[in-house]
Structure 1
Amino acid sequence: MSVEYNNYNKFQILISKLKDFKFENENDKNIFIFCHTVHQKIPCRLFFILGKPINTFLETKLLNNLIYHPKKYPHLVFSIDSKFNITNQTLSYSSSSKNFSFFEKIFLVLDQLLINNNNSDFDKENDKKLKEIPNSIQKYKKHPIYILESLIKTYQIIYPKRPILGYFKGEPIYYKSNIINLLTEKQLYRKGLKPKDKKPYKIIYNSKQEKIYLYAPWQTCKIEILEFDSKDTMDFYHENFIPINCTHINDDKADEVAELLQIEYRKCFKGFYNGFPKIEGIFIESKHKEVFEICLKEYKFNTRLDEIIEKRMKVFKNWNIFLKKVDKYNKIIDRLEK
């Protein structure tokens, strides 16, 4: 507690000396106090209210108690603390969420550019503020913790519907972490899953009024491929697409080696890239894996060796052409000198 009391005394001395300074406005005063608290290592943070004009206010932590600013503003708000952590405070200190999405994107960029691993002195206070129940629909849309069922997407559900954290205009409030995305059969397929229930969890309609069947995670099971397909290629969107007792070999030369060894294989289709089919390796039976990998290594070595020899032969050929031209040029010079 000696450090806390020391900070408290230093802050009181700073406040008492403010009368010796003349500030043009409240912003200058707040910035002055913030700079001095940073210098004296007193936990403090400076808030910026992005209105017209821009205004500021301070929050300080003394004797483990937060001297906070209870007012909310109809503008975007962010803060910088004594450890130079920059935080978007709009959800906690603004009565409006206008332009919040755009503002949040800016902070995502700032997080990447200004990497700051300092633990803030106000982490607990930030969490406490964020856990306050929102008071507007717009804030529920943006809030990272709470959600209303009427605001979720058509392909989403809330499960389980408990606990109910309160009510907003008669509608239950749930944790946002309880949102589950329902998937179509095609989306499940790309994740290596398939529906195990015939009845979907939910049916919605697209713009053409066509039915779309959606399935919950507990209505699915893993895809199992028992054997090679009759076609030369097989889908490979997920590890579950590897046939039983088979191995995936991800190498551009794998199919060439399989042809040389005369073993059965299937090319792995991963989808389309820029309109062209993307093939990623092959499937072979696991019993061939050890021999195949040895042969693949040798084949790549020999192929690389052939490429090096071919490249050097081309260099030698070019040098030979060059030397012949030089010799021809020298003969012409000799004739002219005679």
Structure 2
Amino acid sequence: MNIRGAITVYEADFHMNNCVFKDIYSDFDGGGFFISQTNGFIVENTNIYNITARRGVCKNNNGGFLYVTATSDKNSHAILRNIKHIGSGIENIIDFTMNGVISCVDGYASLEVENYYGEKFYTISSEGSAFVGSGDAKITIRNLELTKVTGGYSYGSGLLLTTYNPIVNGVTFNLNNCTMTNIIQYSDFASSLFTWVDKGSFTINNCNVKNAKGTKSHIHYQGNESKVTFNNVIFDSISSNFPVNLINLDSPENNSFLHLNNVKISKVSSPGVLFRNNVSLLKINGGQFENIHTCMLKNTCVNYEVGPAIGITENFGKTYISNSKFINIYGGNFYI
């Protein structure tokens, strides 16, 4: 058994209700909890202030509040309900690394989250994802609000979600109702302001992302055998210092897909391409894309490069667009 986190729960049940965590620091996985092979774990109606895990095995650095793991022959199911989480990480400390600020879910473990509010998550030297999933983990979230979230100098991560190292099927992720505001991705490497996913199944419904800026940041990136659906998702006021493909369907597998249903992207100040589809299937229905690449209009673009303004489909990829609006799109070619 590994002893990590402020509280370790191994092959046991645990229930916490109406409590306060304040000023807790762990040098390993799980700033608050390290959970392994535990099917009865619930934390609810709890406030968290300034809780941090500095390093670990999850994406190398991890589980700011909760780390949960399980092997194939054991269950580990955790529930977080009615949580207020203010402060994780250490602001302006360059060598400080943390990822999975809310939780890292590893192996065959599962996590259920309902009514979670978080703010002031600082990660300067690592990914800073709110959630990290690895292996064949399962994550289900209902009602999530995050503000003032930063990510740091690392390649291949999303500020909401990062997944990696699939075992068989990869991570299963379902999110219903979320708001993310005032988020920053500092990485000079390719990264994402929202989601960066490997093999798995991902569904996101009814989310609003506003005031998001990065250095070299997609909105969404997916690779491997990934199956992703966004329903009723809004991205408003987005910028990247370097031109990128905002929606990058980069999977080398032709059985991957991205479905964008009633997705709105508006007020994108930086240059680049709205979406790129390599090999896979991209379906856009009921989309609205408005005021895109406005730096071209104002002649304020930084690191400009010539290219299409709206989309690229290549390597036998299939793209279908229906019932959608493109309004005030500036710069480059329309579509390649």
Band of TM-score, shorter chain: under 0.3
Larger Rg: 1
Q: Determine which structure has greater relative contact order: mean sequence separation of CA pairs < 8 Å that are 6+ residues apart, divided by chain length.
A: 2
Normalized against structure 2, the TM-score is what? Answer: 0.26
**Structure holding more strand per residue:** 2
